Structure 1
Amino acid sequence: MGLDATLPTPGSAASLLQASSTDVDEHCATLGRWRLSYDQISAGAFAGHFTQLSLPRVEVFREVTSQQVRQYGQLGAGSFGIGLPWHAAGEVNCNGVSVAGAKVIACIDAEVDMCTPKAFELRGVVTSAGLIEELATRLDISVPRAVWHQLRVIEMAEAPVARLHQHLAVIHDTIAAAPELFDDPAAQRALEDALLVEIMDMLPTARPSDQGRSATVRKRTVDRARELMHGSGDRSLSLLEVCKAVGASPRKLGYCFHEVLGTSPMHYWRAMRLNRVRRDLKRSDGAKTSVYDVAVQHGFWHFSQFSLDYKRHFSELPSETLRRARLAA
């Protein structure tokens, strides 16, 4: 279990962060100023990698996660982000819409909430929403208002998406082979301009993917169920209570979850509670903490089954997580 990060060289013109982690929370902590939280949904050992090249006006990133993950939070107030799914073992789901073809994920001054599959890689660009607005004004480009203030799956013209894809491929190949090239201010400026040109060429063609009425209803049902699951405080709600509150049968709720998140409500709910237990155990700094007490607090009444589920999900026993937390305290 650990974190391996390469930080910027003092005095370098560009900042390069490269980090690897075997823990989803440690991986999340490497994301710099991004205020995101991750929950591991699928079971198994986690491996994450994050690379970020920070230039004066633009950040270029590459993220790899081995397990299915729910990502939520903010890239930062006033940020613009555009991401291209690179490799995945399944579909990326954002607001009930999957990403494929010439679709990208766009976030303009908005909250992030999406579910990514196993073996997922995302590459993209983050910059200031103010810079995008300024460029749009000066270049007489109309940016569709529908893409603001909500993480959206956006359909774009294929050509600029393909060119941005090529730029990102070359950038990350250069990071691997000769990162010192990015220390040249002229190279930085040329790279930023090339990326911004493609983004400004893409945005006028942007239109949110149409979910359709039934997809919108399914998304609303799942959002309400997740709100109840995450907002239940110290007392863990049962799945039956969630079904009653949203007015959906277990079968209907299951269909909605599979369509929107690619998993069942029971699996999602168990994964959320396991993540909460793990975080509580990792925060423990005293001998008074009991694995049993923490498990019960989050609704796990069958302790031996809980231990099996925990080990299957995180590839270690809860007692091992607690022991490591005590040693680190």
Structure 2
Amino acid sequence: MALNVIPPIQDSAAGLIEASSTDVDEHCAALGRWRLRYDQISAGAFRGSFIQLSLPRVEVFREITSQQVRQYGQLGADSFGIGLPWRGDSEVNCNGASVAGAQVIACVDAEVDMCTPKSFELRGVVASAALIRDLAARLEIDLPRAVWHQLRVFEMAQAPVARLRAHLEAIHEAIATAPERFQDPTVRQALEDALLVEIMDMLPTARPTDPGRSANARKRTVDRARELMHGNGDRSLSLLEVCKAAGASPRKLGYCFQAVLGTSPMHYWRAMRLNGVRRDLKRAGGAGTSIYDVAVQHGFWHFSQFSLDYKRHFSELPSETLRRARRAA
């Protein structure tokens, strides 16, 4: 399968960036200054697109991903971000809470860790946390403490959320039909001011959602299991070892993963290890690289089953990934 990557297109006058890709890592690399990492959880060919319009002090974005993805990292140092799920096959999960209705995802200077569903679209705004703090002080607005230093799902007043949605809809319609209008500095400034008015109207009404004690307990169990899965050095633990270390039976762990991530622990872990193999193969490129050795390093001992799983997950064989890496070397 040929990698169909459209390199980022940047219009310096309008501050417009557009990119699309059939590879989750290439998609992630197109996210500008965002320092995020994506892992593809669901199986199938990946399709992603990203559009960003840079205004004087604010960036407006639209992101579409075809597969279920875990996103983690940072938007950037001292960044404020607010995101509105636009569509998806199911709910997005953020810190154990799902987003619906007038809820939004927001954070200031925080780590990002969320799981998005298949066929997902997210639209939103990113700015500096300093800008948000300065505007709040000037307008005598008390920002809720819960928006700082943690990605959260918030209940907010419906009216400003609806107005922000309308602004974002109009912006992306204009990007598709008449992007030249954003070359006018007056238009860009007026648009930024309108967005900031709605954001400053929304934030004082923000109330973090409380998933409840049982949901929090499930989230802690999943976090502990994922920490073991991801942080065990060169040796791949067995699922039994993860269950024992997390203090959960396989049945309980499966229930927790399904509630928090929408998938089973075995599928999640296999997906993470397959992503690891793919990245190692793409980095390798050398003639001496052995697919079998790389697979074994990530805990795959049954090579024919590994090849089938890899093909099912990424819609290409591991040999095709390695062949492309060698051509690019």
Residue 127 of structure 1 aligns to a residue in which SS? strand
1:328 CA drift (Å): 0.8
Partner-residue secondary structure (3-state), 2:10: coil
Aligned equivalents of 2:318, 2:113: Cα separation in 1: 28
Question: In the alignment, residue 2 of structure 1 is paired with which amino acid?
Answer: N
Deviations 1:169-225 (A, max 9, x none): 000000001111111111011000000000000000001001111111111111111
Q: CA deviation at 1:246?
A: 0.7
Cα distance in 2, alignment partners of residues 278 and 236 from structure 1:
16
Q: What SS does the corresponding residue of 2:200 show, helix, strand or coil? A: helix
Q: Is the 8 A contact 2:11 2:17 kept in 1?
A: no
Aligned to 2:6: 4
Partner of 2:170: 170
> Is the Cα–Cα contact under 8 Å of residues 6 and 16 in structure 1 kept in the other structure?
no
Segments of 5+ residues of structure 1 without an aligned counterpart are: none
Matches within 5 A, 1:108-257: 108-257=108-257
Tell me how far 1:119 sits from its aligned partner.
0.2
Rounded Cα–Cα distance in structure 2 between residues aligned with 1:186 and 1:73: 34
Aligned equivalents of 1:251, 1:94: Cα separation in 2: 23
For the residues of structure 1 that align with 2:77 and 2:286, how far apart are their CA atoms?
A: 37
- For structure 2, which runs of at least 5 residues remain unmatched after alignment? none
CA distance in 2, matches of 1:67, 1:18: 19
- Aligned runs of 1:39-118 on 2, under 5 Å? 39-118=39-118
Q: Is the 8 A contact 1:147 1:207 kept in 2?
A: no
Structure 2 SS opposite 1:64: strand
Distance 1:138 1:184 in 2: 27
Q: How many angstroms apart in 1 are the aligned matches of 2:179 and 2:77?
A: 29
In 1, Cα distance between the equivalents of 2:312 and 2:125? 35
Structure 1 residue 3: Cα displacement: 1.6
* Per-residue deviation, 1:7: 2.3
Q: What do the CA deviations read for 1:258-281 (whole angstroms, capped 9, x no partner)?
A: 110000000000000000000000
Match of 2:293 in 1: 293
The normalised TM-score by structure 2 is: 0.98
Instruction: Return the alpha-carbon distance in structure 2 between the equivalents of residues 274 and 8 of structure 1.
Output: 33
Aligned match of 1:31: 31
Residues 128-172 of structure 1 show CA distances to partners (whole Å, capped at 9, x for unaligned) of 111101111111111000111000001100000000000000000
* Partner amino acid, structure 2, of 1:226: R
Residue by residue over 1:16-43, the C-alpha shift from the partner in whole angstroms, topping out at 9 and shown as x without a partner, is: 0000100000000000100000000000
The CA deviation string for residues 54-101 of structure 1, in whole angstroms up to 9 with x for no partner, is 111000000000000000000001000000000101110000100000
Secondary structure (helix, strand or coil) at the match of 1:217 reads helix
Aligned-residue sequence identity (percent) comes to 80
Q: How many residue pairs are counted as aligned between the two chains?
A: 327
- Segments of 4+ moved more than 6 angstroms: none
Q: Give the Cα separation in 2 of the matches to 1:8 and 1:90.
A: 32
1:6 deviates by 4.4
Q: Partner of 1:89: helix, strand, or coil?
A: coil
Match of 1:325 in 2: 325
